Amino acid sequence: MRVGWLSAVLVLASSPALAQDPAQVIVMQERVPFAFLLGTPTGEVGRTSSSELIRIVSNLARRYTDFDVQILDPGLMTECRGRLGCLTLKTRRDYQRSDLLDDRNRPIPYREHVRRLRQSGQIYPRYLLVVSNVTLSGQADRMSAVLVNTDLALAVLHEAPRDQADWEDAAEARLNSGAVVAAPARAQVSSPDEAETFLTKLFTDDFLRAFKSTGNWEPYGTLDLTTSVSGATILLDDKPLGVTQAGLTRVEKVRPGQHALRLEHPDRLPYTSEVRVQRGETTLISPELATRPNVRSDLPRQLTLWTGVAVAAAGVGLVAYGATRPDPGLRTSCFEGTDGCQDGKRFVSFGYDPSQASTAPTAVNPSGVAVVPLGYSLAGAGAAWGAGALLTEANELPWIPWLIGAVVGATAYGVSAAVAGP
């Protein structure tokens, strides 16, 4: 199972700690698990409580390393009777010896297991810190600590011959000499301050060489971003960290190496770049975020403009057609369904047929859509759409011109038809 190892903490510029600092600080902490087992054999409350010891170790890990302390069940100390081999197996659930045996039931090299873990991206606790705090009433706490490299310990256990009854004792002895990072440390502590001094020395002295050799000691660099754009989302290797402010935005606790940087802003084009961060150094980037072209479509406005022009032109054409359509030789026109022929000044319909005057007078100008009023209405609607589109801002939906044009067209036709109706 992949261990979640990215935690991005955004320190807001409005907080008291940053009230005087012009830079916005984002702390990116990519951490790996660090197993910590605290045993209290007597079960009594010591001069330094278990919670205080856990706090001290966690703070030291976060201050000096990239470790994320994982607290193991104290009952493991009793279950394993303090044997480091057993504790390592309980810590490293990713390891099963049966998965590393060949067809003849012989162990294949342990490094194959490490290769598989790295290939699958699994992250595991490489180190196990075992602290025992013996507390006796009226006496100083007797504290001891031992740090185990779990890969070295598993390699010993994995390859240990199992043909002797005491193979576990032999493996435990080899493990103590080959997988323990430093000689077991012991001290008598009478207060939390003394406990912190003792554990700090372990981290900064006894364990320092081991942590440096595996790249876990102060492994970070800093990334400074200077930009005039505020509110741009910062993504490092596709992981969102926070947003920029105008000026300096600092990303701390970045692992060294090549990283893919991306800035995204709704009004700007995305910025992408490959940046290399060096251990203990600050990398300065000044990204330029170009203004994003207005992506809102101007098509509705353009369609309204040219549709208005076309509709208005069609309306003018219908008016001309309707005005020239009546036969000047006919003084009357008849509407179907009326009692007789009406005044020849009536608007003609699309069914107007002067050839019917002698045989079917009522069919000369049958009821239907009147040509000229329809032309008026289309011309008015088209003019309103075209003029409204010209007055509308670019990329703005011209819904008001649409509405006005529809009202103008409907009103023009309705009034004309009502005035000229039978």
Q: What is the 3-state secondary structure (H, E, C) of 311-356?
A: HHHHHHHHHHHHHHCCCCCCCEEECCCCCCEEECCCCCECCCCHHH
1-30+220-293 has which fold?
A: Immunoglobulin-like (2.60.40)
| Three-state SS at 102 | coil
Q: How far is CA 24 from CA 13, 219, 310, in A?
A: 5, 22, 57
Please, are residues 376 and 312 in contact by the beta-carbon 8 Å criterion?
no
| Residue 61, H or E segment | helix 50-64
Residue 124 to residue 236: CA distance in whole angstroms: 23
Biggest alpha carbon distance in the chain? 134
Residue 33 to residue 72: CA distance in whole angstroms: 12
Angle at 35 between CA 280 and CA 279, to 5 degrees: 10
CB-based burial of residue 150 (10 Å sphere; 0-12 exposed, 13-18 middle, 19+ buried)?
buried
The whole-number pLDDT of residue 395 equals 64
Q: How far is CA 186 from CA 54, 189, 278, 411, in A?
A: 17, 10, 37, 99
Question: In terms of DSSP bridges, do strands 32-39 and 67-71 run parallel, antiparallel, or are they unpaired?
Answer: parallel
The whole-number pLDDT of residue 174 equals 94
The whole-number pLDDT of residue 2 equals 37
| Three-state SS at 218 | coil
Contacts of 289 (CB under 8 A, 6+ apart): 227, 229, 232, 263, 265, 268, 269, 271
Q: How far apart are the first and last CA of the chain?
A: 86
Radius of gyration of the chain (CA): 43
Which of 303, 279, 317, 272 shows the shortest CA–CA distance to 398? 303
| Three-state SS at 224 | strand
Phi, psi of 384 (to 5 degrees): -65, -40
Residue 152 C-alpha from the chain's centroid: 38
The whole-number pLDDT of residue 4 equals 38
The whole-number pLDDT of residue 265 equals 93
Residue 218 to residue 264: CA distance in whole angstroms: 30
Residue 290 structure tokens: 């170009």
Residue 288 to residue 269: CA distance in whole angstroms: 9
DSSP 412: H
CB-based burial of residue 248 (10 Å sphere; 0-12 exposed, 13-18 middle, 19+ buried)?
middle
Residue 97 to residue 104: CA distance in whole angstroms: 14
Residue 275 structure tokens: 């940046």
Residue 21 to residue 41: CA distance in whole angstroms: 48
Please, are residues 143 and 188 in contact by the beta-carbon 8 Å criterion?
yes
Contacts of 20 (CB under 8 A, 6+ apart): none
Segments of the chain with pLDDT less than 50: 1-20, 335-340, 343-345, 422
Write down the domain spans for the chain.
1-30+220-293, 31-213, 299-420
Contacts of 179 (CB under 8 A, 6+ apart): 84, 88, 148, 149, 150, 152, 153, 155, 156
The whole-number pLDDT of residue 328 equals 67
Residue 284 to residue 261: CA distance in whole angstroms: 12
The whole-number pLDDT of residue 329 equals 66
Indicate if the alpha-carbon torsion angle 93, 97, 103, 107 is positive or negative.
Answer: positive
Please, are residues 289 and 229 in contact by the beta-carbon 8 Å criterion?
yes
